């Protein structure tokens, strides 16, 4: 886990709490790898996460998830020197949860979360925001949460890492496998497509971290040659 400063847990106000890494910019000057591409991430979590994980330290759980996300981006198969930093961890309080009107409609939730994080972010504070939730993520045509169309694990827009209005993603918590989904959705923000996308037809048919589904017959610990190529193109 790439941490650039000391972790502080502070109560900011009644709408949310946040963990912020203190002295980020100052510490970064002392130990900064200029050959790497540094990506700073905010993670927010809602009441459904608090309720489901009421018997554990949620902060430690999320930091553990992000540690593995960082590990995945450090794997040699990515072919690029990318450092993922967790710079802020935000607990959405009830007022703020109501403000963004949490819903099981994945597209609506993404739109509302992107609007919230756009207003929350001071330009330059972080590069992308990820919301963790336990609610089912359904497509706009499904109203039944038991429907197979509600099995979405994550949603974001493609190639919007540098767009301050849409540099955001929603990830449904699924235990420690959530780390793979977070890494997957962040990659979409870089413009990385699924391994079976037509843009990857010229590469060998690998089903790795950017496979369309999270199944154990795929190698989710590595990046495909297609992902490697498009990371290099984007950066």
Contact 178, 171 (CB under 8 A): yes
Residue pointed to by tokens 């918590």: 173
Q: Give mean pLDDT, residues 18-40.
A: 58
Reported as a pLDDT band with limits 50, 70 and 90, residue 34 is low
Confidence of residue 229 (pLDDT cuts 50, 70, 90): very high
Q: Which member of 40, 91, 185, 206 is catalytic?
A: 185
| Mean pLDDT, rounded, of the chain | 81
Per the listing, tokens 């706009």 go with: 140
Of 104, 112, 91, 125, nearest to 165 by C-alpha is 112
At 53-100, the pLDDT tens digits run 988 899 999 999 999 999 999 999 999 999 999 999 999 877 666 666
Could you confirm whether 185 is annotated as catalytic? yes
Q: For residues 29 and 4, what is the distance between their CA atoms, to the nearest angstrom?
A: 10
Domains for the chain: give ranges and CATH numbers: 7-234 (3.40.390.10)
pTM beyond 0.85, yes or no: no
Question: Can you tell me the mean pLDDT for 2-27?
Answer: 39
Q: What one-character DSSP code corresponds to residue 193? A: P
Lookup: tokens for 6: 């000391």
């Amino acid at each position: 886990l790439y941490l650039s400063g000391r972790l502080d847990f502070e109560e900011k106000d009644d709408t949310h709490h946040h963990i912020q890494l203190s002295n980020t910019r100052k510490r970064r000057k002392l130990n900064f790898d200029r050959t790497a591409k540094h990506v700073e991430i905010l993670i927010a979590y809602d009441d459904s996460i608090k309720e489901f994980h009421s018997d554990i330290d949620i902060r430690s759980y999320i930091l553990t998830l992000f540690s593995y996300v960082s590990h995945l981006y450090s794997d040699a198969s990515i072919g690029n020197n990318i450092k993922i930093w967790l710079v802020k961890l935000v607990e959405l309080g009830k007022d703020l949860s109501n403000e963004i009107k949490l819903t099981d409609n994945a597209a609506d939730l993404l739109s509302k979360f992107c609007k919230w994080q756009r207003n929350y972010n001071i330009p330059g504070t972080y590069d992308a925001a990820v919301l963790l939730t336990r609610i089912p993520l359904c497509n706009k045509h499904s109203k039944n949460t038991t429907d197979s169309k509600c099995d979405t694990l994550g949603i974001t827009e493609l190639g919007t890492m540098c767009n301050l209005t849409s540099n955001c993603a929603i990830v449904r918590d699924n235990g420690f496998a959530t780390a793979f989904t977070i890494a997957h959705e962040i990659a979409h923000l870089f413009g990385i497509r699924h391994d079976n996308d037509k843009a990857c037809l010229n590469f060998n048919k690998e089903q790795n971290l950017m496979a369309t589904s999270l199944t154990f017959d795929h190698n989710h610990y590595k990046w495909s040659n297609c992902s490697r190529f498009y990371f290099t193109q984007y950066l």
